[in-house]
């Protein structure tokens, strides 16, 4: 575990503020408090990290108890196991393969109360400026609010503004899809290229990938192509434009700031691609933008009526429900389909805001991740959808989670005495099984999220076969979680006559935690639910760890250095000279840039 111990604990943290805890948990908390009491000095109440509090210390002690158990035995307790399967509006979350007991959960609820989790959730929904380093509210939930909801920023209800943009998207996408809006040569628009990066790309790509093979969404998109261009790599440009004809193509430039270097360069590249073929008039008919910075959109040459706004209280990685996702996806699938997606996300938002911790799925997901990372010491998490349509879930959640919680200081700027965040990665099953599952089964312990769908978007039944392709997929979904939990012991292997020298190689320790999420189907509504579930899980983790999950200063330094290299490269190219000591690069960078320029 990467935790650093506090220099000294202070008496006020010993007051047990969690009077509603279960007796066992309370008893343990009290015992720890007494132990700490003997070692600490009197002083003012702690303003510091959650790691210096009694509930945190109680959980640390509790690890010793859990280490005495094996998931094999925990799963045998029927009462515990069934109690750990939670359901909300068709979503089943099975937490029984987490290394937890009822007492662990009680201790985690204590921790959540200590961290004022409910108050922080309330503050987010109330539009308080909880992104303190940028002085902004965090209101992606408003981008999927129902028309009758009220959400305030600085005393102003923002829901009418949200719906004004959504209505504009509806109107515009209907016009394009019906052929009322034509390209500059009079041809209907069939293709959309969405240009954006990071949060202005990964969420829309995830949703598009999820909906492409849904029968209803797919039917609405027949004859249409939606492509994404994120990377500044000319290979990505070539692939995005492959076989597209300018006169049938609309380019959507998506950038919250409208300053991101890669997006702006790609925007200029695509404007040239359009205007070289169709002339300057093409910009008005073939280029639209999504941004919070309408001034820069206009300066780029896109008319304000072709710009779709959003607000600084929507973080980039949380922006897929704003025009960032809604415009390109409505052009592809129609607004009505995408409204279902919004309502799915809104449904889980409501649940998150109101449900008690014990039945609140994002809260449980978040607390159990904290347990795995901060107490059991597992720094990574695998996101493993047994559904090809969710192939882009892991890349999207990588950004949502790692850009949000990958922080070194707490919200007050104090160094964290533990490592926050986790390393997220994943691939759809069963493909991942033939790739990195070896490490997960016999190498490092990586808590896994298994995601399965009851009714597939597609069905393939081969004549004479009882098990369909989807059944086969789901057999693996069920089997993997148990394989990780139970493992295989030398005794079992001997009983199967496995030769002695192979027993160490073929043994599985088991006791490897996972959780399973099962959705009834994967239509636009469930995609919205899943998105909201994961977004709020990340927020719960950040709220409890005490970090600001809504800024991203860590990506700035690389951008600044790239801009210096760009400037120097321009100078050397125009001045026909090499990079030299006066350019103030280290010998390695100087050597490599000169090699590149040669």
User: Which chain residues interact with ligand F6P by CB under 6 A?
Assistant: 197-200, 255-257, 260, 263, 316-317, 403, 552, 555
C-alpha to C-alpha distance for 393 and 452, rounded to whole angstroms: 13
Q: Is 446 exposed, middle or buried (0-12, 13-18, 19+ CB in 10 A)?
A: buried
Degrees to nearest 5, angle at CA 89 with 84 and 93: 25
CB of 254 to ligand F6P, least distance (A): 7
CB of 334 to ligand F6P, least distance (A): 25
Q: DSSP string of 340-408?
A: HHHHHHHHHHHHHHHS-GGG-HHHHHHHHHHIIIIIS---EEEEEESSGGGTTHHHHHHHHHHHHH--S
403 is catalytic: yes
Query: For the chain, how many residues are written?
Result: 598
**DSSP character for 21?**
S
Number of DSSP helices (H) and strands (E) in the chain, helices first: 24, 13
Closer residue to ligand F6P (CB): 403 or 424: 403
Q: Which long-range contacts (CB under 8 A, 24 or more apart) does 357-361 make?
A: 357/109, 357/112, 357/117, 357/118, 358/105, 358/109, 359/86, 359/88, 361/86, 361/88, 361/91, 361/93, 361/533
CB of 256 to ligand F6P, least distance (A): 4
Closer residue to ligand F6P (CB): 205 or 448: 205
Residue 124: how many CA atoms within 13 Å on its side-chain side?
Answer: 27
Helix (H, G, I), strand (E, B) or coil at 116: coil
* Under 8 Å between Cβ of 569 and 401: no
Closer residue to ligand F6P (CB): 69 or 257: 257
**Annotated catalytic residue, options 4, 27, 175, 559:** 559
Of 594, 584, 544, 540, the closest CA to residue 561 belongs to 584
CB of 551 to ligand F6P, least distance (A): 9
470 is catalytic: no
Closer residue to ligand F6P (CB): 255 or 516: 255
CB of 195 to ligand F6P, least distance (A): 10
What is the side-by-side order of every strand in the sheet holding 514-521? 85-88, 91-94, 514-521, 448-455, 380-385, 423-425
Closer residue to ligand F6P (CB): 198 or 546: 198
CB of 268 to ligand F6P, least distance (A): 14
351 is catalytic: no
CB of 271 to ligand F6P, least distance (A): 16
Closer residue to ligand F6P (CB): 456 or 552: 552
Closer residue to ligand F6P (CB): 13 or 297: 297
Q: What are phi and psi of 153, to 5 degrees?
A: -125, 120
Closer residue to ligand F6P (CB): 316 or 428: 316
* Under 8 Å between Cβ of 139 and 50: no
Helix (H, G, I), strand (E, B) or coil at 416: coil
C-alpha to C-alpha distance for 325 and 331, rounded to whole angstroms: 10
Provide the b/e sequence for 299-318 (b: ≥16 CB within 10 Å): ebebeeebbbbbbbbbbbbb
CB of 200 to ligand F6P, least distance (A): 4
Q: DSSP string of 500-557?
A: GGGHHHH-B-----EEEEEEEE-SHHHHHHHHHHHHHHHHHHHHHHT--TT--GGGHH
CB of 166 to ligand F6P, least distance (A): 19
**Annotated catalytic residue, options 106, 262, 403, 427:** 403
- Is the C-alpha dihedral spanning 259, 126, 547, 43 positive or negative? positive
**DSSP character for 312?**
T
Closer residue to ligand F6P (CB): 555 or 560: 555
Q: Which residue has the tokens 């990066």?
A: 197
Active site residues: 403, 434, 559
């Amino acid at each position: 575990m990467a935790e650093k111990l506090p220099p000294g604990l202070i008496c006020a943290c010993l007051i047990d503020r969690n009077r509603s805890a279960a007796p066992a948990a309370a008893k343990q908390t009290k015992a720890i408090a007494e132990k700490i009491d003997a070692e600490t000095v009197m002083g003012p109440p702690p303003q510091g990290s959650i790691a210096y509090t009694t509930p945190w210390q109680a959980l640390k002690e509790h690890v010793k108890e859990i280490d005495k158990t094996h998931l094999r035995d925990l799963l045998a307790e029927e009462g515990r196991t069934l109690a750990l399967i939670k359901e909300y509006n068709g979503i089943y979350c099975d937490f029984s393969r987490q290394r937890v007991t009822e007492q662990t959960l009680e201790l985690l609820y204590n921790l959540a109360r200590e961290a004022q989790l409910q108050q922080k959730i309330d503050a987010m929904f109330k539009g308080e400026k909880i992104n303190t380093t940028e002085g902004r509210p965090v209101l992606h939930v408003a981008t999927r609010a129902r028309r009758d909801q009220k959400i305030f920023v600085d005393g102003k209800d923002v829901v009418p503004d949200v719906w004004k943009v959504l209505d504009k998207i509806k109107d515009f996408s209907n016009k394009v899809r019906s052929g009322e809006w034509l390209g500059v040569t009079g041809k209907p628009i069939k293709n959309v290229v969405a240009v954006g990066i990071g949060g202005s790309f990964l969420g829309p790509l995830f949703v598009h990938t999820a909906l492409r093979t849904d029968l209803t969404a797919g039917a609405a998109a027949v004859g249409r192509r939606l492509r994404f261009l994120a990377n500044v790599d000319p290979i990505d440009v070539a692939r995005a434009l492959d076989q597209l004809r300018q006169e049938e193509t609309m380019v959507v430039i998506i950038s919250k700031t409208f300053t991101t270097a890669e997006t702006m360069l790609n925007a200029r590249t695509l404007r040239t691609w359009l205007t070289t073929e169709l002339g300057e008039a093409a910009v008005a008919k073939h280029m639209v933008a999504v941004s919070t910075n309408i001034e820069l959109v206009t300066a780029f040459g896109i008319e304000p009526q072709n710009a779709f706004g959003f607000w600084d209280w929507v973080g980039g990685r949380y922006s897929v429900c704003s025009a960032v996702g809604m415009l390109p996806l409505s052009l592809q699938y129609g607004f009505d389909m995408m409204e279902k997606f919004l309502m799915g996300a809104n449904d889980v938002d409501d649940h998150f805001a109101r449900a008690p911790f014990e039945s609140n799925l994002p809260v449980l997901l978040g607390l159990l991740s904290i347990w795995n990372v901060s107490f059991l010491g597992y720094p990574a998490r695998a996101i493993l959808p047994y559904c090809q349509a969710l192939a882009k879930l892991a890349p999207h959640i990588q950004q949502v989670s790692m850009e949000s919680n990958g922080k070194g200081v707490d919200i007050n700027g104090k160094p964290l005495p533990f490592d926050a965040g986790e390393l997220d990665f994943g691939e759809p099953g069963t493909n991942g099984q033939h790739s990195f599952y070896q490490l997960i089964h016999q190498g490092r312990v990586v808590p896994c999220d298994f995601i399965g769908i009851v009714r597939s978007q597609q069905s393939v039944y081969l004549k004479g076969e009882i098990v369909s392709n989807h059944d086969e997929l789901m057999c693996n979904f069920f089997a993997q979680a148990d394989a990780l939990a139970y493992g295989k012991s030398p005794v079992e292997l001997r009983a199967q006559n496995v030769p002695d020298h192979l027993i160490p190689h073929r043994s599985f320790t088991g006791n490897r935690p996972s959780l399973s999420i099962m959705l009834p189907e994967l239509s636009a509504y469930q995609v919205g639910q899943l998105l909201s579930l994961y977004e709020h899980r990340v927020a719960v983790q950040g709220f409890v760890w005490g970090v600001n999950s809504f800024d991203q200063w860590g990506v700035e330094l690389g951008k600044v250095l790239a801009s210096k290299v760009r400037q120097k490269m321009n100078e050397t190219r125009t001045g026909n000279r090499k990079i030299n000591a006066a350019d103030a690069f280290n010998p390695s960078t100087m050597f490599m840039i000169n090699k590149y320029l040669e």
